[in-house]
Amino acid sequence: MKKIIISVICLALVVPMFNGCKKGENDPMSLKSRKARLTGEWELVEWQSTSISGSNITTINFSGSSKITLFGSFSATTTYSESMEIMKDGTYESKFTESDTSSTYSCTSTGGWFWVGKNKELEYKNKERVGMQETSSTCIYTSSSFSDTDISTSTGDSGVTTWRIDMLKNKEMIVVMEYIALDNGDLYSVTETRTYEKQ
């Protein structure tokens, strides 16, 4: 009986430790903190996106290396890759390359990341969302007849992209973005789900 009581007490102490490291609905129980799981090198493996602007709908489906973009009757299939390194010091670097049979477009961006705090009114937990604030980017477009390089930097309160982390494992992360707005009766919305694997 004494052993059972000790086991129950130990379980009662350990379970909150595991749950304390959980923030997303689908997070596994882990002894690693969310920061320890988030930092590292990530590669995009799946991406689904639907954007609505008035009567125009754009969808993106990416898996492996193939990206299919649909806009009305227009369809484009390109080769796509994206990676991101999230550092412990609060900085990040992301890269993507997209190409078709005649051109290639690639960008490298750097900036800072931070946890977004709890919001009771919007029902967000602390560290459920992460903000990514870009401070510099270099984009290069090349084709058989043309080449262009665009370099930009920003400081201060520049635009921040906020992702809700739906699931964060040691080796896998699923992030979601949902945005809906009405302007004079026109609907504008973005729904994205991205799956990353740690390298």
DSSP-derived 3-state class of residue 20: helix
Q: Which pLDDT value is given to residue 13?
A: 39
If DSSP states are collapsed to H, E and C, what string results for 67-127?
EEEEECCEEEEEEEEEEEEECCCCEEEEEEEEECCCEEEEEEEEEEEEEECCECCCCECCC
> Which among 114, 158, 162, 107 is positioned nearest to 137, based on CA atoms?
107
Q: Which pLDDT value is given to residue 7?
A: 42
DSSP-derived 3-state class of residue 114: strand
Confidence of residue 174 (pLDDT cuts 50, 70, 90): very high
What is the helix, strand, coil percentage profile of the chain, to 5? 10, 60, 25
**What pTM was estimated for this model as a whole?**
0.82
**pLDDT score of 137 more than 70:** yes
Confidence of residue 144 (pLDDT cuts 50, 70, 90): confident
Q: Which pLDDT value is given to residue 10?
A: 37
CB 169, CB 28: distance < 8 Å: yes
CA dihedral 181→137→134→186, nearest 10 degrees, is 0
Ranking 49-63, 93-107, 174-188 by mean pLDDT, the lowest is 174-188
Q: Which pLDDT value is given to residue 23?
A: 55
Compute the average pLDDT of residues 147-169: 86
Compute the average pLDDT of residues 135-162: 87
What percentage of the chain has pLDDT greater than the value 70?
83
* Domain boundary assignment for the chain: 39-198
Contacts of 116 (CB under 8 A, 6+ apart): 124, 127, 128, 129, 130, 131, 162
Task: Give tens-digit pLDDT for 95-122.
Answer: 999 999 999 999 999 999 999 999 998 8
**pLDDT score of 81 more than 80:** yes
- How far apart are the C-alpha atoms of 98 and 104, rounded to whole Å? 6
Phi, psi (deg, nearest 5) at residue 20: -65, -25
Confidence of residue 12 (pLDDT cuts 50, 70, 90): very low
Tell me the pLDDT of the chain averaged across its residues.
87
Number of residues that make up the chain? 199
Q: Which pLDDT value is given to residue 153?
A: 84
